[in-house]
Structure 1
Amino acid sequence: MLSFFSKPRIRGGVHAEEHKAATAALPIASNFPLPKKLYIPLQQHVGKAAEPVIKVGEKVLKGQLLAYSQGMISAPVHAPSSGVILDVNDYPAPHPSALPIRTIVLATDGKDEWLASPVITDPFQLAPEDISLRVGAAGIVGLGGATFPTAVKLNMGRENHIDTLIINGAECEPYLCCDDRLMQERAEQIIDGVRLMLHGMTNSPGANLHLPEGGRPGIKTTNAVVAVEDNKPHAFLAMKTAAKPYSLIKVIQIPTRYPMGWDRQLIRYVTGREVPVGCRSSEIGVTIHNVGTAYAVHKAIRHGQPLLGRVITVAGGAVKRPMNVEVPFGTLISELFDFCEVNPEVTARIIMGGPMMGDAMPHTGLPTVKATSGVLALTQSELKNTDEQPCIRCASCVSVCPAGLRPLDMANTIRTNQLEATVDLGLKDCISCGCCSYICPSNIPLVQYFKYASGEVMARQQAQHKAEQTRRLIDARNARLERMALQQREEELARLAAKAERERLKAEQGALV
């Protein structure tokens, strides 16, 4: 059962400057011109990269499968528009390194012609397993940034007997307001997606979760809570109105505080439950999805449309026309910036995502993907002063850490290359939210230390794993050589014994003669 608290249970966090006013009041722009080329990476999700099923020169329709998922943790990729496949090759990834990643290049034909798909009259007549299968086939992943395959979480909902589904409408990152506008403009579709998720997570046959209040629900159902930050009153009202007919779905307001959208923070506030270290939220009966994910589920189940694009916030001081714009995946940042009239001369930094947890991009020739919630063009005045000063031992970083860590102690062990000690201090629990760096009066780039240490620990673990694997292979080879040598010795002894026996018999025959 849900348990709400009169007093907020929030650990750490900061009240970051929002910078949302420029875009929050504007409706979603749907007039973005279709790009002539789309660059569609095969790795847009957690897990294994998708494997292409198309060939160069092949004509495809919008929504057609381009690459299938590999294994349980993976997601397929579909054509965001109709056109011709130009290439399947390496192309710079939307990552600070811009290292090449396998990418499908699609030349659009301007027709935007859809692949025909059957329409389901009443999706609530489908088995819950069918909902998960269709969601997985649509390539839907967590659109809050985690990009974990949604179908896997729906399956875990049935396996772990989830009693609470939380829909994350916090959107606590500064500048970003794509989810805010989505809730304001498409609340009914989001709520429908939530209902479909509830149906897909049901492990009880006959649970009719589509019934409004006063109807007769099934034997066992799952409760849903849509959590919206209190700085989004219009989104809250729209979602509350859309959810009113359904008793299983509650819409609540939560405090505006970064990082309220962190899953563990949100779960703690909404339910009072703590997710143990090393455990998943599903193990305590809770699962969480983004509002954009719920909207994508609605489109996939109701209309048979796979995940092909999303609403993206384009903002920052260098943007002349900041907006929330709906674009197909594979659109280059440069085309977004041209549409929003970004001034490259005053752009000091390009960030994909929000300024707290987003990544700085090296150039604009990178594609948007499923994880792209926003693209920011920030001026120098919007960037924090980077002149690092000595620590004054104020402990501000400790008080704002939502994970309850000691950032300063971790940074000191990293400086002295004591990475094992850093891990013991909780490095793996750090979510790189940036609260510690944001609040630090000495401008110490704490989160950069932690990102470096996490990468170094992973690299060392991979090197150790490789060394152990090599050692096992060498040991196996030596054991195999020893077995072969022993077998050869045994065969040689057997051959000598047989030869001696033949000579003995020959000698005996000669003596008889």
Structure 2
Amino acid sequence: MLALFENPRLRGGVHAEEHKAETSGVPIALDMPLPKKLYIPVQQHVGKPAEPLVKVGEKVLKGQLLAYSQGTISAPVHAPSSGEIADVMDFPAPHPSALPIRTIIIETDGLDQWQPLKAPDDPFALPAEEICALVGAAGVVGLGGAVFPSAVKLDLGRKNKIHTLLINAGECEPYLTCDDRLMQERAGEIVTGIRLMLRGMNAPEATVGIEDNKPEAFIAMREACAEFANINVVQVPTRYPMGWDRQMLRYLTGREIPADGRATDIGVVIHNVATAHAVYRAVCLNQPLITRVVTVSGSAVAKPQNVEVLIGTLMSEVLDFCAVDKSQVARLIMGGPMMGDALPISEVPVVKACNGILALSEQDIEIPEVKPCIRCSTCVTACPVGLLPLEMASRIRANQLDSAVDLGLKDCINCGSCSYVCPSNIPLVHYFKFASGELYKRQQMEHKSEQTKRLMDDRNQRMERIRLEQEEEARRVMEARAARTREQELAKQKAQQAQQAQQSISKADTAEEVR
């Protein structure tokens, strides 16, 4: 742990087994067969889901808009290939629950025909607002895992007077090398994307942070940036979780993001290196985000490699392409082994957030025996956030969630560093994920209770208003009835008086005649 104290900018973290050599030297595979069907979820980003605008039976071309974004925090989705809309239905999501999500299903026609594309003659002559609009229309989101709509961050950057664009190329998770290969093979396109992002935010300079276990990618990026003095390429230590945006920012700038703030509060915007490549395609080629590079690895994979996959391809088909021995698969993970999601089935689609598919065997996931804590504080040293993992876990075991929150539970990023270094093999991060889920449920219940109370209050107010209106209406009816009664009585009196007067006149006339 000596390195921790030699560099005050590097807090916590672990040296996890990398398992990157199997794929980092293999070129990105571009020859994966076109799937017969593509399954495109309308929710592949942070924010509101996109709203489908296609109908069953409709013919679509590659790159055509399938569902439009709703509101500011949303992103559209596009057709990854040409074909016919077979259905719009609920389909299992790439999530540990595999719960169904609204999905557009395309039956491909084998032609892979693009819709007409009109690329700008000079992308750097476009105004900043138009660059952001093109990025938004292309459905580009953060490809490092956050999947936040990129156009929103570019707009925020322009409005907040950003001085530095930080490109996160840490890729610290074991096994994953998709960003590494992207930088090795497409550095020029990535740099063009970075320059366009700078223009879209009106920011003066950019810094690219690459872990020092990626020398080929570092050299490729340095060469691609050689003629651009405002783009710096910097090596950072290989230490998980260096890919965490706050850790990367702290190391490269020496500054901290406020606890409840954003990087923009200190004049920085952070984007993933793969996002920069997607921006290049969106602006220079007018191509939407319909593919992504995915690392396929694990001891059950016969041909571990990075594959450029169409969004909506079933993971089972990607695994078949990489010759996975299904009988050896003990756990399937989307993402990395530290922060990825274990999937119950492989018949789920590749989405924009999927940067890796790991097929692990029993030997990879051997679960050691959990032993009592020896109070060594190794978990405290490893925590990149500076929390007290053991104390939080103790509170959670005692069902003292509020106390765990006071110790910083909500600041935990679930990186798993504490669990990784624990000599007693205590699954600390499992406690934190459980507690976070319980807190979410509690918030949902409180929100539901508040909603119910508000609805009851609204109902009571409505019933009281109706009662008052009914009473007022009854009062008006009674007053009208009383008025009618008085009028009838008055009319009756007048009639009687008239009748009496007539009788008096008749008597007088009779008396006169007798005389």
Give TM class, smaller chain.
over 0.9
| Counterpart for residue 344 of structure 2 | 362
Q: Give the number of aligned pairs.
A: 490
Residue type of the alignment partner of 2:184? Q
Matched, 1:488 2:451: no
| Counterpart selection for 1:403 from 380, 385, 399 | 385
Give 1:371 deviation, angstroms. Answer: 0.7
| Counterpart for residue 322 of structure 2 | 340
Give 1:492 deviation, angstroms. Answer: 2.0
Deviation readout 1:124-156 (Å, 9 max, x if unpaired): 111101000000000000000000000000000
Distance 1:119 1:280 in 2: 34
Distance 1:461 1:486 in 2: 37
Map 1:91-490 → 2, pairs under 5 A: 91-202=91-202, 221-490=203-472
Residue type of the alignment partner of 1:453? A
Distance 1:169 1:55 in 2: 40
Distance 2:176 2:57 in 1: 38
Q: Report which of the two structures shows the higher radius of gyration computed on alpha carbons.
A: 2
| Counterpart for residue 506 of structure 2 | none
Distance 2:252 2:432 in 1: 29
Distance 2:127 2:135 in 1: 13
Distance 1:163 1:114 in 2: 38
Give 1:343 deviation, angstroms. Answer: 1.1
| Counterpart for residue 13 of structure 2 | 13
Name which of structure 1's ranges 500-509 and 28-37 shifts more when overlaid on structure 2: 500-509
Give 1:409 deviation, angstroms. Answer: 1.3
Deviation readout 1:77-115 (Å, 9 max, x if unpaired): 111111111111111100111111111111111111111
Residue type of the alignment partner of 1:100? P
| Counterpart for residue 40 of structure 2 | 40
| Counterpart for residue 70 of structure 2 | 70
Distance 1:340 1:510 in 2: 104
| Shift in alpha-carbon separation, 1:444–1:35, aligned structure 2, 3 A | same
Residue type of the alignment partner of 1:349? R
Deviation readout 1:318-356 (Å, 9 max, x if unpaired): 111110111101111111111111111221111110000
| Counterpart for residue 30 of structure 1 | 30
What's the secondary structure of 1:345's corresponding residue?
helix
Name which of structure 1's ranges 177-186 and 494-503 shifts more when overlaid on structure 2: 494-503
Residue type of the alignment partner of 2:473? E
Residue type of the alignment partner of 1:402? P
Distance 2:408 2:398 in 1: 17
Residue type of the alignment partner of 1:48? K
Give 1:172 deviation, angstroms. Answer: 0.4
Give 1:72 deviation, angstroms. Answer: 0.6
Gap regions ≥5 residues in structure 1: 1-5, 203-220
Give 1:502 deviation, angstroms. Answer: 3.9
Distance 2:490 2:234 in 1: 104
Q: What is the TM-score of this pair, normalised by structure 2?
A: 0.93
Residue type of the alignment partner of 1:336? V
Distance 2:352 2:454 in 1: 39
What's the secondary structure of 2:333's corresponding residue?
strand
Residue type of the alignment partner of 1:181? R
Distance 2:493 2:315 in 1: 99
Distance 2:436 2:463 in 1: 40
Give 1:272 deviation, angstroms. Answer: 1.3
| Shift in alpha-carbon separation, 1:60–1:119, aligned structure 2, 3 A | same
Distance 2:491 2:271 in 1: 91
What's the secondary structure of 1:437's corresponding residue?
helix
Residue type of the alignment partner of 2:392? M
Provide the aligned C-alpha RMSD in A.
Answer: 1.4
What's the secondary structure of 2:206's corresponding residue?
strand
| Counterpart for residue 209 of structure 1 | none
Distance 1:313 1:403 in 2: 28
Q: Which has the higher helix share?
A: 2
Give 1:505 deviation, angstroms. Answer: 4.7
Distance 1:432 1:135 in 2: 30
Distance 1:8 1:144 in 2: 26
Matched, 1:54 2:72: no
Distance 1:501 1:96 in 2: 74
Distance 1:304 1:509 in 2: 88
What's the secondary structure of 2:326's corresponding residue?
coil
Name which of structure 1's ranges 460-469 and 189-198 shifts more when overlaid on structure 2: 460-469
| Shift in alpha-carbon separation, 1:508–1:222, aligned structure 2, 3 A | same
What's the secondary structure of 1:382's corresponding residue?
coil
| Shift in alpha-carbon separation, 1:84–1:497, aligned structure 2, 3 A | closer
What's the secondary structure of 2:351's corresponding residue?
coil
Residue type of the alignment partner of 2:113? E
Give 1:508 deviation, angstroms. Answer: 4.8
What's the secondary structure of 1:56's corresponding residue?
coil
Give 1:496 deviation, angstroms. Answer: 2.4
Deviation readout 1:154-187 (Å, 9 max, x if unpaired): 0000111111100011000000011001101100
Give 1:426 deviation, angstroms. Answer: 1.3
Gap regions ≥5 residues in structure 2: 1-5, 498-515
Residue type of the alignment partner of 2:341? D
Give 1:18 deviation, angstroms. Answer: 0.5
Distance 1:62 1:487 in 2: 60
Give 1:509 deviation, angstroms. Answer: 5.2
| Counterpart for residue 80 of structure 2 | 80
Give 1:487 deviation, angstroms. Answer: 2.1
What's the secondary structure of 2:34's corresponding residue?
coil
Distance 1:324 1:483 in 2: 66
Residue type of the alignment partner of 1:351? I
